[in-house]
Amino acid sequence: MPTELTALVRSAQQGDEYAFRMLYRELQPGLLRYLAVLVGPEAEDVASETWLQIARDLGTFAGGPGFRAWATRVARNRALDHLRHQRRRPTVPVPVEALSELAGAEDTAASADEGLGTDTAVALIATLPRTEAEAVLLRTVIGLDAESTARVLGKRPGAVRTAAHRGLRRLARILAQNGRDAVEPVSGGPTVGRSADARAADVRAGEDVEAAQGWR
């Protein structure tokens, strides 16, 4: 797959429209879900901006196997810009009944087929602290390895691994708890999610700006 992606990138850089279309289909679902965690309902808009920039800057990508990470970084930077303007990160609503469905494993295959499961799963991951959520998503939904994930997040690989593991443990706990006693929203109210203020604090942390500047 990586070599196939590399070949597509090379063709697209030479002007091949079909190759670019294939790149979109390969990357867009993961990017959109990742963006949903970062910017909530604005994800589609930010994804559009992301692809505009990818189309424009494709020629500056040096080639090689790092295109997935490069595109993810573009998406992340667009999302962070978006959040800086908004000054907050919206909470991703998690349908409570869907969450309990997810914990009961038998039904999830069917719900995934209907498209419900994916949104719910992503929304549940979005309840993690942001670094953990990003680490888990980049490793699984986007499909980056630990090193690429670290580059995208501007952190050390060890820190990214720790964040991902912590996120997995937290998710496992939530699922186990929900399996026992229906769903008890983490932050109260009808939706599960960290408060907008907490998210905004994450974004305001200098790490993102620093990371964005380190990327070429």
Which chain residues interact with another protein by CB under 8 A? 10-17, 20-21, 24-25, 28-30, 32-33, 44, 47-48, 51-52, 54-56, 58-59, 102-103, 105-106, 108-112, 115, 117-118, 120-122, 124-125, 136-137, 139-141, 143-144, 146, 161, 164-166, 168-169, 171-172, 175-176, 179
Shortest distance (Å) from residue 210 CB to another protein: 25
Shortest distance (Å) from residue 209 CB to another protein: 27
| CA atoms of 131 and 128, how far apart (whole Å) | 8
| Residue number, 32 or 209, with CB nearest to another protein | 32
Judged by phi (left if over 0) then psi (alpha if -120 to 50, else beta), residue 66 lies in alpha
Q: How far apart are the first and last CA of the chain?
A: 24
| Residue number, 88 or 179, with CB nearest to another protein | 179
The two three-digit tokens of residue 35, written as one number: 């963006």
Shortest distance (Å) from residue 89 CB to another protein: 19
Shortest distance (Å) from residue 74 CB to another protein: 12
| CA atoms of 159 and 148, how far apart (whole Å) | 13
Dihedral Cα 200, 205, 211, 213, nearest 10 deg: 90
| Residue number, 45 or 197, with CB nearest to another protein | 45
Shortest distance (Å) from residue 197 CB to another protein: 26
Query: For residues 153-182, b (16+ Cβ closer than 10 Å) or e, as one string?
Result: bbbeeeebbebbebbbebbeebeeebeeee
| Residue number, 59 or 214, with CB nearest to another protein | 59
